[in-house]
Every structure is written in C-alpha cells, then in structure tokens.
Amino acid sequence: MNQEGELTEDALARRNFYLKTLYELNQELNTLRNVSNVLESSLLNIIGVFGLRSGLIAIYRGDEIQPREFACRGMQKRTARKWFQQLEAHLEAPYSREVCVLQDAADSPMAKLLKDHRFSAWLPLQVDEETWGGIALGVKLSEMEFSDDDLELLSTIAINVQNVLSNVILIEALHQSVIKETRIRSVFQRYAPETVISEVLDPSNEELLLGESRSVRRMFDQMIAGLEEQHRMEQELGLAYDVQQYLLPGKPPQLAGIEIAASSIPARGVCGDFYDFIPLGPHEMGISLADISGKGMSAAMIATMLQSATRMCVGSYYPIPATLAILNSFVFQHTDTPRYATMFYGQLNAQKRTLTYSNAGHPPAFLCRDGKLQMLETGGTMVGLFEHWSYDQDIVELQSGDALVIYSDGVTDAGISPEFDNSDDAFGQERLESTVVANTALSAAALLDAISSEVTQHTAGGKQFDDITLIVMKLE
C-alpha cells in the first residue's frame, strides 16, 4: 500500500496472482483422489506462489510419531526424515499444533527447530479428529518476510487442503472397506453352502444327499444372494452415513460472545440436509444449512457434494451472492436428474456483530429479539433449479440477547405423514416461533433442546419422515 492507502502495482499484481492460485489450486485439488497427490500438488503450488527454496507437507494419524504420508521439495527425503525425528520431541507440545512464523517468534522452541532446518514457518493442519499434520515452509527466494496477505493466503490454502484431505481419506477408507468386504463375501460364497450342507444332512443316505444337496444348494444360493443384496445396501447406507458424520462439524465452533448449538437427525439413515461452520478468521465464520430435494442415498450424495463445494467457494473470497450463484450452477450442472436444494448461507462477524446472509429458497431463518421476530428471507431461488440465477444479500445488526434460528423444513413439517399429507398435523412455523419466543432467555444448547423436545412431543414418538436439522445461536 502507498501512503494514500492505495494498492501499489506490485501489491495488486501479487494479490491477483494469489487469487488466481487459490482458484486454480481449489479446482485441481477437487480432481485428486489420493492423499499423496493432494500433498504433492498443494506443496508445489505453495512453493511457487511464495517463491520458496523448499517445503514439506505431512499428515499424521492419531498419536503416531511417524507421518502417515509426506511430500517434500527442495530437500532430500533423508533431510525430511531428520526433521520428523526432531519434530517427534515436540509432538506432545500444544505449540506443534499452532502456526509458527519465524519472523514473529524467533525464541520459541518451534522457531528454533524451524531455524535448524532452514524453514521459515510451520502451519498445522487438522484434517479430522484422527488425522492432523503440517506444512513447513522453506525460506523465500526474495528473502522477504511473510506479509499479512501471505499469511491470509496460507491459512485459506490450509483450510482447503484440510477439507480435500478429509474427503480423500474417507474415500480411501471406503475403498479399502469395499475391497475387504468383497473378499469376505467371495470366500463365504465359495465355502459356506457346502460346509452347512454337510452338517445338516445325514451323510449315510448318499442318494438323498445328492438330490437334497442340489435343492439345498439352490436354496442357499438364493438366500445368500438376497442376504448379500440386503447387506450391500445396509453397508452402503452405513458408509454414506459415516461420510456424512465425518463431514458434519464435530462440535460447534468457538466464536467470542456467541453460543452455537446444532443438530441433524436423518430420516432414513443418511441425511439430505447438511449444516456446516466454516472458519473465516478469528472473528468470522460461514454458516450453511441446506436441504436437498428427495431423500435417502442420492440426496445424501448431493448434500455431501454441495457441502464440499460450499467450503471451496467460501474459502476463495467470493462474495455471498456470487458464492450462491456458483453453487446454483454447480448443482444444476452436476446432477443428471433435476435436483435442487434450499440453502441458507451467512457469514457471522463476532467483532462487528453482524450477520451477512443470503437465503436460497430456504424456510426463513429468523432472529428473535425482545420477543419480536425478524425473518431472514433476502436471497433468491433454490440452488440447482435453473442453470443461472443471481442472489441478493442482506446484513443484520446483532445485539446481546438475540437468538438466531436456522432450520430445515423437517422441523416445521414434523408430524406430517407422506401417506396422508395433512398439513394440519405439522409441527408448523407458528409452534416453532412461539417455542423460541417462550425460551429465548435460554442458552443456545438449551433452546435447541427445547425446540427438539417440543417437536418430539408433537409427533408423539411417531415415525420421522424428513431430516430434521437445526442451528441455534445466542448472542451473549
């Protein structure tokens, strides 16, 4: 920046280069299907964008002290292994899971370690509950320090790499699980019928045995085929459920002055709803809640795809209306049969106490202040309905004591049976609103419990026909 606060030609060129890199890297990472390619590609781009002499990226599983996988450039693999050996002594320390930039922390133990290995920064990655890792950055060819823009770009890249790694690790695990399952099935199919036949039939009657064995074999074959099909479907549903559970935020994020509670209960094992919290800096986060048309496995797959795409777009600095416009085209182009999603996306800034949001055909989220409700309806139509659509956004000023409720129509439609489709049976918007007004003094978690318990009471423990997803936020 110059003295007038304008971007200089260099700063502008650098920023454009950074945005272009982020966009291209996101696109590339989305095409990769194994951990090692994600590590290689991320590192290559990081080295190029900052002009580094060397770099290293690694991921660890659980408490293991050796990395599960790593990639390095500008250094020998044996040098990288020395780094891991010396890093071992620091793995238990909390600072190994924190960002360390040499220029800002010259005397810390991590900084000393970085210096010994000619690195200039350490950026930890938290892929999922089990898997973590980090990126060690070599010194810049320019010999310049890392600027605020550099660090912002780095943390955005890290978030994207974490998301992609998390998906890829899951896909790899699912793939392994399917291979194992196929092996077990083939062994069972080959040996089990004969074994069981020999046990259940009288071996002294050979004629009967031959005739019976053929019919018993046929019966077993049919039974096994049926069981296998059922097992396969249960397995697929279970795996899809696992994928979704991994993708849902484990616990609500911490944002100073704001309590957050969330829950999602699927109607058929897997969920066509999703919610997500996307960190955007120390005081800001993205909040998304979407409901995909249809139910079961196909809706769940689209939900997973939309959730990943949202994270990618949000991490790329797009304004909210542009993010929704991109997601709209994305869903339209990537679903063969007409599918769409209602979606609420907002960015909550705890420092400015504002919520900037856009509502894509989703049931209106609402703000409850002093017993009065403000509906958050600004936005546009459902995503995926038309190839191109533009969206509006609105900014809501927040105050202490405000309660913000975002929900899927599974909440308000609870109680309706698809067979009778009588909307009089529904829990309904009014009940939801009055529950929130009556309990607005409660904490976010208690308010969420109050709503859930009213819904359960209304449906009297009957069968749940739609996914029920709720996010409640309270401003302290």
Partner 1 sequence: MRRECTVKVREGNDVATIEVLGDLTASAEKAIDAAYEEASGYNSKNILLKFDGKSRINSAGIAIVINLVIAGQESERKVFITGVSKHFRKIFELVGLTKYTTIVESEEEVGKS
Q: Which residues bind partner 1 (CB under 8 A)?
A: 10, 13-14, 17, 20-21, 24-25, 28, 41, 44-53, 73-74, 140-144
Shortest spacing between CB 77 and partner 1, in angstroms: 15
Which of residues 159 and 287 has its CB atom nearest to partner 1 in the complex?
A: 159
Structure tokens at 287: 């909040």
- Shortest reach from residue 227's CB to partner 1, in Å: 47
* d(C-alpha 255, C-alpha 471), whole Å: 15
Structure tokens at 257: 């002055």
Q: Least separation, in Å, of the C-beta of 54 and partner 1?
A: 9
Rank residues 12 and 438 by Cβ distance to partner 1 and give the closer one: 12
Tell the smallest beta-carbon distance from residue 161 to partner 1 (Å): 14
Q: Cβ of residue 106: shortest distance to partner 1, in angstroms?
A: 22
Minimum separation from the CB atom of position 159 to partner 1 (A):
17
Q: Which of 99, 141, 96 is nearest to 118 (CA)?
A: 141
- Would you state the structure tokens that stand for residue 295, as one six-digit string? 């139910």
Distance from C-alpha of 349 to C-alpha of 283, rounded to nearest angstrom:
6
| Least distance (Å) between residue 51 CB and partner 1 | 3
**Minimum distance of partner 1 from residue 52's CB (angstroms):** 8
Q: Which of 436, 433, 428, 427 is nearest to 473 (CA)?
A: 436
47 vs 309, beta carbon nearer partner 1: 47
Could you tell me if 142 and 8 are in contact, meaning their C-beta atoms sit under 8 angstroms apart? no
Length of the chain as a residue count = 476
DSSP string computed for 77-106: HHHHHHHHHHHHTTTTSGGGGS-EEGGG-T
51 versus 257: smaller Cβ distance to partner 1:
51
DSSP annotation string for 3-20: TTSPPPHHHHHHHHHHHH
Q: Which is nearer to partner 1, 7 or 89 (CB)?
A: 7
Minimum CB separation of residue 46 from partner 1 in Å reads: 8
Residue nearer to partner 1 on the CB measure, 55 or 134: 55
Distances from the Cα of 293 to the Cα of 325, 332, 342, 373, 466, angstroms: 18, 13, 8, 28, 11
The letter for the amino acid at 103 is: Q
Query: CB-wise, 147 or 230, nearer to partner 1?
Result: 147
Instruction: Kindly tell me which of 45 and 335 has the beta carbon lying closer to partner 1.
Output: 45
68: left (phi over 0), alpha (psi -120 to 50) or beta: alpha
Nearer to partner 1, 15 or 175 (CB): 15
Rounded to 5 degrees, what are φ and ψ at 395? -120, 130
Buried/exposed code over 82-102 (b: 16+ C-beta within 10 A; e: otherwise): ebbeebeeeeeeeebeebbbb
